[in-house]
Chains A and B, each alone.
Chain A
């Protein structure tokens, strides 16, 4: 397996572990407050891994990297902010 493919496999492992860890945090009932905020931060981390590695945006022109980082950041900030505001 080529080095880049090993990296892709490593990223997949991290994504799977992070997904299971989020599930462990929320369990079957869901999480509220800062527990949910943590879950959304993990989701944003996973999204960034996908964008940078699977979509290969880490080698794209800088404006595109920034654009996708903004989309991920805005999504997470919006969901976390509106969740915490009603606590």
Chain B
């Protein structure tokens, strides 16, 4: 975060406003999901039990690790260590990309088992919530790729830092949303 923002002298990056609004909209999704669950507890618990918790766990560890690497890239950028910025961004993108691969494997398994968004209310929410999150993930990967590409060009430092810090904040939001989605969808059983 820039010194001006840190001291409160400048306006907060507009990306923070977007992140707060986007997170708030996800809270509404959480509320709708939990309200529907309250009406069909057994169906939701039984359906959640068919999800592969190990894949959800792997994806949580992937996003946490990728987010850590992006935070380290921001730290390196503040020291003008461009070689480390590039390496860390590349690793963050590579590891982050695995999230998408695991998710596609998971969707394929469900569809092969004949489970679709129309199977029951749980799966409708499962596909919609993870689908909307997946869209955020794809946008995040594209942003990180753009920022990695910018690090090879002659973009002025201030402009590059704005891009890097905004992209990093967005990527952490993808992680943040998954931190709530994973237990709510995968780990929520009955008693």
Please list the residues of chain A having a beta carbon within 8 angstroms of any beta carbon in chain B. 2, 4-5, 8-9, 11-12, 15-16, 19-20, 22-23, 26-33, 36, 39-40, 43, 46-47, 50-51, 53-57, 59-61, 64, 67-68, 71, 74-76, 78-79, 82-83, 85-87
State whether A61 touches B12 (Cβ < 8 A).
yes
Q: Which of chain A's residues have a CB closer than 8 A to the CB of B188?
A: 30-32, 36, 83
Q: Which residues of B contact A53 (CB under 8 A)?
A: 71
Q: B1-9, B106-114, B138-146: which one contacts chain A?
A: B1-9
B183 and A40: CB pair below 8 A? yes
Most chain A CB inside 10 Å of its own CB: which residue of B24, B65, B188: B188
A12–B31 alpha-carbon span in the complex (Å): 29
Q: Are A22 and B34 in contact (CB under 8 A)?
A: no
B161 located at the interface, meaning its Cβ lies under 8 Å from any Cβ of chain A in the complex = no
A-contacting 9-mer, from B53-61, B97-105, B121-129: B53-61
> How long is the Cα–Cα vector from A76 to B181 in the complex, in angstroms?
11
CB atoms of B67 and A32 under 8 A apart:
no
| A61 & B8 in contact (Cβ 8 Å cutoff) | yes
CB nearest to B28 among chain A residues: A78
B33-58, CB under 8 A of A: which get 1 and which 0? 01101100100010011000110010
B187 contact from A22, A56, A71, Cβ within 8 A:
A22
Give me the interface of B with A, judged by CB distance under 8 Å: 1, 5-6, 8, 12, 16, 20, 23-24, 26-27, 30-31, 34-35, 37-38, 41, 45, 48-49, 53-54, 57, 60-61, 64-65, 67-68, 70-72, 74-75, 79, 168-169, 172, 175-176, 179-180, 182-184, 186-191
Contact of A19 among B23, B60, B168, B189 (CB under 8 A): B60
Contact indicator B12/A60 (Cβ below 8 Å):
yes
Looking at chain A's contact residues, the main secondary structure is helix
Contact B179 A46 (CB under 8 A): yes
**Contact: A75 with B71, CB < 8 Å?**
no
Contact partner, B48, options A30, A50, A68, Cβ 8 Å: A30
A82 touches B38 (CB 8 A): yes
A65 to chain B, nearest CB (A): 11
Given A50-B175, A71-B20, the answer on whether A29 and B75 have CB atoms closer than 8 Å is no
